[in-house]
């Protein structure tokens, strides 16, 4: 099938019931930088020994000790369950986590009750680099997740692999995420975050395994990444401002989505989202905006789609204001405000 090329700009302002809304740090050894190796704290690279406590102890030293420190996860396979990389850290410059080997998630889903897998919180200045892999080993957990698209009221969200909360000035670069239990990368309450050169992979049948999910964050840049999962390659929900998604290869998956919006009361607007020079191959959707009917007011504005290539995409551009709508739960229709709408 021939490849289609969409070059254009779409600037959208939509609302439920027509409501009107309104420097990568180099991976170089800094002077006096101390390398904190997780193996020095008892971590074992055999893929079987639970190295969670060793990782926590190593992080505590790297983050809380004076001076510039780098946490090193060397070659090997390290098994860890849920843990916090919690700040604030004492170093004046960004703290670096260098992942060379593979970090494996434990497979017992009870380890993750009401928590994510690896949680980075309250950190100003973070470099997560190194070319290593985070393997969520999600196969056994996917069977408990019903189809969230069809039955959202009973949907179960498995833990995210990499969860960033209240992180500012962060760089996540050249990292691989494999077979997450839930979302691969979850960014919330963050500012000035760059995600560069990521390779995110899960089977097309894996439920609710969004590649990168962004909420309540500003100044987020997603560049030069390959994302193929069972759900959205990138999903953006309320409270997001100034996001650029550029040179991302998406597929398989559900495409790049804004929404769903309007599900909760007092939702914050989505503004200034740019999707540039991206490629979609074999996805259910390309560029999607979705809102709930008969719920709460919400808005999105200044949305730009430009220089998009699509091949074997079922719905190249879809704007759905009746998301999850059926005759049983939709009592009235909603309208869409476009100001303006261009396909060039």
Residue that is last in its domain, among 197, 231, 265: 231
What is the rounded average pLDDT of the residues 231-236?
97
If asked whether residues 209 and 297 sit together in one domain, one would say no
What is the rounded average pLDDT of the residues 256-284?
92
* Whole-number percent of the chain with pLDDT over 90: 69
If asked whether residues 2 and 111 sit together in one domain, one would say no
Print the domain residue range for 5. Answer: 1-21+257-344
Q: What values do phi and psi take at 171, rounded to 5? A: -125, 120
If asked whether residues 118 and 191 sit together in one domain, one would say yes
| Any domain includes 223 | yes
What is the rounded average pLDDT of the residues 310-333?
76
Q: Per-residue DSSP letters for 271-310?
A: EEEEEES-EEES-SEEEEEEE-TTS---EEEEEEEESEEE
pLDDT (tens digit per residue) in 62-84: 999 988 899 999 999 999 999 99
If asked whether residues 297 and 331 sit together in one domain, one would say yes
| Any domain includes 238 | no
Residue that is last in its domain, among 189, 215, 231: 231
If asked whether residues 4 and 42 sit together in one domain, one would say no
State residue 93's pLDDT score: 87
Which residues, listed in sequence order, are joined to residue 288 by a DSSP beta bridge? 257, 318
Q: Is the pTM value of this prediction over 0.95?
A: no
If asked whether residues 275 and 215 sit together in one domain, one would say no
Nearest partner of 251 among 273, 234, 276, judged by Cα: 234
Three-state DSSP class for residue 38: helix
pLDDT (tens digit per residue) in 155-205: 677 999 999 999 999 999 999 999 999 999 999 999 999 999 999 999 999
| Any domain includes 297 | yes
Three-state DSSP class for residue 62: helix
Domain count, the chain: 2
* Whole-number percent of the chain with pLDDT over 70: 80
If asked whether residues 69 and 126 sit together in one domain, one would say yes
What is the rounded average pLDDT of the residues 88-110?
95
| Any domain includes 251 | no
| Alpha helix stretches (DSSP H) within the chain | 52-64, 139-142
| Any domain includes 245 | no
If asked whether residues 138 and 14 sit together in one domain, one would say no
Q: How confident is the model at residue 287 (pLDDT cuts 50, 70, 90)?
A: very high
Helix (H) or strand (E) holding 117, with range, is none
If asked whether residues 150 and 201 sit together in one domain, one would say yes
State residue 319's pLDDT score: 85
If asked whether residues 9 and 74 sit together in one domain, one would say no
If asked whether residues 172 and 279 sit together in one domain, one would say no
CATH number at residue 166: 2.160.20.10
State residue 17's pLDDT score: 38
| Any domain includes 26 | no
| Any domain includes 124 | yes
| Any domain includes 239 | no
Nearest partner of 210 among 187, 194, 193, judged by Cα: 187
pLDDT at 37 over 70: yes
pLDDT at 342 over 50: no
pLDDT at 210 over 50: yes
Kindly name the residue from 213, 254, 266, 306 that is annotated as catalytic: 254
State residue 193's pLDDT score: 98
pLDDT at 306 over 60: yes
State residue 3's pLDDT score: 57
Residue 184 has, within 13 A of its CA and on its CB side, a CA count of 31
If asked whether residues 269 and 333 sit together in one domain, one would say yes
Residue 254 annotated as catalytic: yes
State residue 218's pLDDT score: 98
């Amino acid at each position: 099938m021939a490849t289609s090329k969409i070059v254009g700009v779409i600037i959208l302002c939509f609302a439920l019931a027509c409501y009107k809304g309104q420097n990568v740090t180099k991976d170089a050894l800094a002077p006096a930088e101390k390398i904190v190796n997780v193996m020095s704290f008892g971590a074992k690279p055999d893929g079987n020994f639970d190295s969670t406590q060793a990782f926590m102890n190593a992080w505590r030293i790297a983050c809380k000790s004076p001076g510039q420190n780098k946490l090193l996860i060397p070659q090997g396979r390290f098994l860890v369950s849920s843990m916090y990389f919690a700040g604030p850290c004492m170093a004046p410059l960004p703290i670096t986590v260098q992942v060379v080997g593979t970090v494996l998630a434990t497979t017992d889903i009870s380890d993750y009750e009401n928590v994510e897998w690896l949680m980075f919180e309250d950190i100003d200045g973070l470099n997560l680099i190194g070319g290593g892999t985070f393997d969520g080993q999600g196969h056994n957990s996917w069977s408990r997740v019903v189809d969230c698209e069809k039955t959202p009221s009973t949907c179960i969200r498995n833990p995210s692999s990499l969860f960033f909360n209240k992180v500012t000035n962060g760089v996540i670069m050249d990292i691989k995420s494999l077979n997450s239990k839930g979302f691969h990368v979850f960014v919330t309450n963050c500012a000035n975050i760059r995600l560069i050169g990521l390779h995110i992979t899960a089977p097309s049948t894996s439920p609710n395994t969004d590649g990168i999910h962004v909420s309540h964050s500003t100044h987020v840049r997603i560049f030069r990444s390959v994302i193929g999962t069972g759900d959205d390659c990138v999903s953006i929900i309320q409270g997001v401002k100034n996001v650029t998604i550029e040179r991302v290869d998406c597929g398989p998956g559900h495409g790049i989505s804004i929404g769903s919006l309007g599900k909760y009361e007092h939702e914050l607007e989505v503004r200034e989202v740019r999707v540039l020079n991206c490629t979609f191959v074999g996805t259910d959707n390309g560029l999607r905006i979705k809102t709930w009917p008969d719920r709460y007011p919400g808005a999105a504005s200044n949305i730009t789609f430009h220089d998009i290539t699509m091949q074997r995409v079922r719905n190249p551009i879809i704007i759905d204001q009746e998301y999850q709508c059926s005759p049983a739960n939709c009592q009235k229709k909603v309208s869409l405000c476009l100001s303006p709408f261009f396909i060039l």
